[in-house]
């Protein structure tokens, strides 16, 4: 599909390809992209220096390379980390004066194309790019209309090489996106449609991951992740992501796993404030209560929580006020600690 659909979009252009260390090659997507682009008369350069949870410095290095190459388009291949980095590169390559990518700005970016090799972040359909603050305890995002990829190529062949634990972690990220999207005050009829359909697919296909998901299951998980991405493109994420960033930065927990650990506890706390929304989430997943959601997440993830002492430290980290304001319940430090402990 990539080989047929990408060439007419970028024929004859100078395409800068942004990837992680090895997933683009291991998935087979890089070879397909290079073959397609070379056949379409494109000049290509590959930047394979994106770290997991990329920093701005990491993206600036990529942007400097893209500028030197004279890039006219950026193709991100990989999980959310390379896709987000590709977006930052697309902005920074054309706007080298932009010292702080997070400062409010409305600057144009190079056209972005995305090939996800994980089924989780939905970055291939969102306007967000998320980066780790250098030496910091959390992450920060920036967004803009130009960050929406012009096209995303969802091919289950590219997730076949995913290790089981990464597939489970990333599926839980998609569940978090869909659930948080429904539970944010900015959720609406359209975003909920995408989120609930995403949950329907995730509940059906994510349990297959531990049994060796076949091509059909992997394709449905890619769709589910993208649908959840469309939902958060409209609503943003919520408290779970805000708390999860600290788990990733402090405890080095993968993004999706961090969210998965916190989700059921968050939903339990939302229930008295928005019972109908919670009911619709459970119904879409075909489960009867929040305790069952907790068991469902634990079955998929198979990871314990961080323990009392760590939970207290993590809960003390300040969160952005908008995330706290958007939370359906008061999320003070004690409550945040309990969520870290899965209570």
Positions in the binding site for ligand NAP (CB under 6 A): 20-23, 26-27, 52-53, 78-82, 84, 117-118, 120-123, 126, 128-130, 139, 158-159, 161-162, 166, 170, 173, 255-256
Minimum gap (Å) between residue 183 Cβ and ligand NAP: 16
How is 243-281 classified by DSSP, letter by letter? HHHHHHHHH---HHHHHHHHHHHHHHHHTTTSHHHHHHH
Q: Which residues make Cβ contacts (< 8 Å) with residue 55, sequence separation at least 6?
A: 131, 132, 133, 134
Nearest CB to ligand NAP, comparing residues 195 and 335: 195
Partner that binds at residue 130, options ligand NAP, Zn ion, none, CB closer than 5 to 8 Å by kind = ligand NAP
d(CA 257, CA 249): 13
- 3-state class of 293 per DSSP? helix
Partner that binds at residue 161, options Zn ion, ligand NAP, none, CB closer than 5 to 8 Å by kind = ligand NAP
Helix/strand/coil percentages in the chain, nearest 5: 60, 10, 30
Cβ neighbour number for residue 343 with a 10 Å cutoff: 12
146 binds Zn ion (CB under 5 A): no
Nearest CB to Zn ion, comparing residues 141 and 161: 141
CA-angle at 264, arms to 261 and 292, nearest 5°: 115
Instruction: Using alpha carbons, select from 278, 139, 319, 270 the residue that is nearest to residue 196.
Output: 278
Nearest CB to ligand NAP, comparing residues 21 and 280: 21
Compute and round to an integer the Cα radius of gyration of the chain.
19
Partner that binds at residue 265, options ligand NAP, Zn ion, none, CB closer than 5 to 8 Å by kind = none
Minimum gap (Å) between residue 8 Cβ and ligand NAP: 25
Instruction: Using alpha carbons, select from 105, 65, 68, 115 the residue that is nearest to residue 89.
Output: 65
Binding map of Zn ion across residues 159-178, x = CB under 5 A, - = no contact: --------------x-----
Minimum gap (Å) between residue 156 Cβ and ligand NAP: 10
Minimum gap (Å) between residue 275 Cβ and ligand NAP: 27
Nearest CB to ligand NAP, comparing residues 226 and 331: 226
Partner that binds at residue 126, options Zn ion, ligand NAP, none, CB closer than 5 to 8 Å by kind = ligand NAP
Q: Using an 8 Å Cβ cutoff, are 190 and 184 in contact?
A: no
Nearest CB to ligand NAP, comparing residues 166 and 201: 166
Minimum gap (Å) between residue 116 Cβ and ligand NAP: 7
Partner that binds at residue 79, options ligand NAP, Zn ion, none, CB closer than 5 to 8 Å by kind = ligand NAP
Handedness of CA 66, 67, 69, 74 (dihedral sign): positive
Q: Using an 8 Å Cβ cutoff, are 13 and 73 in contact?
A: yes
Minimum gap (Å) between residue 84 Cβ and ligand NAP: 5
Minimum gap (Å) between residue 45 Cβ and Zn ion: 29
Residue with the CB atom nearest Zn ion in the bound state: 173
Nearest CB to Zn ion, comparing residues 33 and 301: 301
Task: Please state whether beta strands 139-143 and 128-132 pair in parallel, antiparallel, or not at all (unpaired).
Answer: antiparallel
Nearest CB to ligand NAP, comparing residues 61 and 84: 84
Partner that binds at residue 94, options Zn ion, ligand NAP, none, CB closer than 5 to 8 Å by kind = none
E strand spans, the chain: 14-19, 43-47, 73-78, 112-116, 128-132, 139-143, 151-152
Minimum gap (Å) between residue 18 Cβ and Zn ion: 19
d(CA 172, CA 188): 22
Binding site for Zn ion (CB under 5 A): 173
């Amino acid at each position: 599909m990539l080989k047929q659909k990408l060439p007419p979009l970028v024929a004859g252009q100078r395409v800068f390809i942004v990837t992680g260390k090895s997933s683009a090659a291991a998935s087979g997507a890089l070879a397909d992209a290079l073959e397609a682009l070379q056949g379409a008369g494109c000049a290509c350069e590959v930047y394979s220096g994106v770290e997991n949870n990329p920093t701005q410095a990491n993206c600036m290095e990529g942007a400097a390379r893209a500028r030197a190459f004279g890039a006219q388009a950026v193709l991100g291949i990989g999980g959310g980390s390379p896709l987000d980095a590709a977006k930052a590169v697309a902005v920074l390559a054309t706007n080298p004066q932009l010292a702080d990518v997070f400062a409010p700005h409305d600057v144009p970016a190079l056209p972005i194309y995305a090939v996800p090799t994980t089924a989780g972040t939905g970055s291939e359909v969102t306007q967000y790019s998320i980066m780790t603050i250098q030496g910091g305890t959390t992450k920060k995002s920036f967004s803009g209309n130009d960050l929406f990829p012009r096209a995303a190529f969802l091919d289950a062949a590219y997730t076949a090489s995913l290790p089981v634990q990464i597939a489970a972690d990333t599926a839980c990220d998609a569940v978090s996106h869909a659930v948080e999207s429904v539970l944010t005050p900015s959720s609406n009829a359209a975003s909920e449609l995408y989120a609930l359909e995403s949950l329907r697919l995730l509940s059906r296909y994510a349990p297959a991951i531990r049994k060796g998901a076949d091509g059909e299951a992997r394709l449905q998980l890619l769709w589910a992740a993208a649908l959840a991405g469309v939902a958060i493109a409209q609503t943003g994420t919520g408290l779970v992501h805000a708390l999860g960033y600290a788990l990733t930065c402090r405890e080095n927990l993968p993004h999706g796993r961090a969210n998965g650990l916190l989700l059921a506890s968050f939903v339990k706390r939302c229930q008295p404030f928005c019972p109908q929304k919670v009911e619709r989430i459970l119904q879409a997943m075909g489960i009867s209560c929040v305790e069952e959601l907790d068991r469902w997440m634990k079955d998929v993830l198979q990871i314990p929580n961080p323990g009392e002492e760590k939970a207290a430290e993590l809960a003390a980290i300040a969160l952005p006020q908008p995330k706290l304001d958007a939370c359906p319940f008061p999320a003070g430090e004690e409550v945040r600690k309990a969520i870290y402990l899965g209570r």
